[in-house]
């Protein structure tokens, strides 16, 4: 019987830690502030933004939402980001993706100050992750690392396989596993003999965006399986990239969908925003912990 890694419980613990640190910052007159930009009326984006605002309230942050119409032009969006870069009461800025057609998300990300880039998408922060000297980590991969830690498995020396090579999850995920001395393979649509590769994995991270893509015959006995996917199955029910029914019996530990990686993403966003507030107000970790 696999251990079911409870992302809700781990996320709640992270948020509680952030809330406790935020209370200490407030004693110094510092209130972390997060600005969230949403363009258009994509229903999924609206759900994510509402969840982020709720999390901010829970940990004691100030949050500001900037809801722009779908026909907003690029110059207006860039001007808003530049304005937020200059505001001392805003420590983190994120622009909810995807943007409506006609808007350049790369240009927007590039405009966000690296010091306020709490999604860790800016090329400067991506570079810092590559060399292992980062302030922020992308929220989903950082959350995955917390869940692997929760499984009790040491990454060092393990065969780690990441399915998916996106800039948001796959690539940074591989780097974080590498920084913890895992032996890492990234698989993608051109990978030959995929199942042979995944069966070598002691730690398997699925971030491919295809419902129930990873099946039991693709998984090594006793592996830790982390499911980043969020899809709908043939019955319209939420499911991940992993076929839980066939994979779970073979695992040492596995994350469910929902209730696994999802809650961690927003929890790590809160942690990044707290870090940004501390850096921008020159609050050292050493002084902070005294």
DSSP string, the chain: --EE--HHHHHHHHHHHHHHHHHHHHHTT---EEEEEEES--HHHHHHHHHHHHHHHHHT-EEEEEEE-TT--HHHHHHHHHHHHH-TT--EEEE-SSPPTT--HHHHHHHS-GGGBTT--SHHHHHHHHHT--S---HHHHHHHHHHHHHT---TT-EEEEE---TTTHHHHHHHHHHTT-EEEEE-TT-TTHHHHHTT-SEEEE-S--TT-B-GGGS-TT-EEEE---EE-TTS-EE-SB-HHHHGGG-SEE--SSSSHHHHHHHHHHHHHHHHHHHHTT--HHHHH-
Q: pLDDT by residue (tens digit) across 151-173?
A: 999 999 999 999 999 999 999 99
Confidence category of residue 1, pLDDT binned at 50, 70, 90: confident
Q: pLDDT by residue (tens digit) across 50-73?
A: 999 999 999 999 999 999 999 999
User: Of all residues in the chain, what percent carry a pLDDT higher than 90?
Assistant: 95
pLDDT at 32 exceeding the cut of 90: yes
pTM value is 0.94
**Residue 280 annotated as catalytic:** no
So what's the pLDDT on residue 108? 98
Confidence category of residue 286, pLDDT binned at 50, 70, 90: low
Q: pLDDT by residue (tens digit) across 116-150?
A: 999 999 999 999 999 999 989 999 999 999 999 99
Burial (CB count <10 Å: 0-12, 13-18, 19+), residue 183: middle
Q: Mean pLDDT over residues 7-12, rounded?
A: 97
So what's the pLDDT on residue 284? 79
* Fold classified for 29-112: Rossmann fold (3.40.50)
pLDDT at 49 exceeding the cut of 60: yes
Of 85, 92, 175, nearest to 133 by C-alpha is 175
CATH class of 139-262: alpha beta
**Residue 119 annotated as catalytic:** yes
User: Of all residues in the chain, what percent carry a pLDDT higher than 70?
Assistant: 98
Q: pLDDT by residue (tens digit) across 80-121?
A: 999 999 999 999 999 999 999 999 999 999 999 999 999 999
Catalytic residue among 116, 117, 119, 278: 119
Are domains 29-112 and 139-262 of this chain identical in fold?
yes
pLDDT at 78 exceeding the cut of 90: yes
Catalytic residue among 6, 41, 42, 52: 52
Q: Mean pLDDT over residues 187-206, rounded?
A: 98
Catalytic residue among 6, 42, 54, 96: 96
Residue with tokens 């596993």: 177
Between β-strands 159-163 and 92-95, what pairing exists: parallel, antiparallel or unpaired?
unpaired
Ranges of each domain in the chain: 29-112, 139-262
Q: Mean pLDDT over residues 179-197, rounded?
A: 98
**Residue 180 annotated as catalytic:** no
Please tell me whether the peptide bond between 185 and the residue prior to it is cis, using omega within 30 degrees of 0.
Answer: no
Distance in angstroms (rounded) separating the CA atoms of residues 105 and 45: 15
């Amino acid at each position: 019987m696999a251990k079911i890694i409870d992302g809700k419980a781990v996320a709640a613990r992270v948020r509680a830690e952030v809330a406790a640190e935020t209370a200490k910052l407030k004693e110094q007159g510092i209130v972390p502030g997060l600005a969230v930009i949403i363009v258009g009326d994509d229903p999924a984006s609206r759900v994510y933004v509402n969840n982020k605002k709720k999390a901010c309230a829970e940990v004691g942050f100030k949050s500001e939402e900037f809801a722009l119409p779908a026909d907003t032009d690029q110059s207006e969006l860039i001007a808003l980001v530049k304005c937020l870069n200059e505001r001392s009461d805003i420590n983190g800025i994120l622009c909810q993706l995807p943007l409506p057609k006609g808007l350049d998300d790369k240009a927007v990300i590039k405009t966000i100050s690296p010091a306020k880039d709490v999604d860790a998408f800016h090329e400067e922060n991506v570079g810092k992750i590559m060399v292992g000297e980062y302030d922020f980590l992308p929220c989903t991969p950082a959350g995955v690392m917390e869940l692997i830690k929760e499984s009790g498995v040491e990454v060092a020396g393990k065969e780690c396989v990441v399915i998916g090579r996106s800039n948001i999850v796959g690539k940074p995920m591989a780097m974080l596993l590498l920084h913890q001395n895992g032996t890492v393979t990234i698989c993608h649509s051109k990978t030959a003999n995929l199942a042979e590769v995944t069966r070598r994995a002691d730690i398997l991270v699925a971030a491919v965006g295809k419902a129930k893509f990873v099946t039991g015959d693709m998984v090594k006995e006793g592996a830790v399986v982390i499911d980043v996917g969020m899809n709908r199955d043939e019955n319209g029910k939420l499911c991940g990239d992993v076929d839980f029914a066939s994979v779970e019996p073979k695992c040492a530990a596995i994350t469910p969908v929902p209730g696994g990686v999802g809650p961690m993403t927003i929890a790590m966003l809160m942690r990044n925003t707290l870090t940004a507030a501390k850096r921008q107000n020159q609050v050292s970790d050493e002084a902070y912990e005294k």
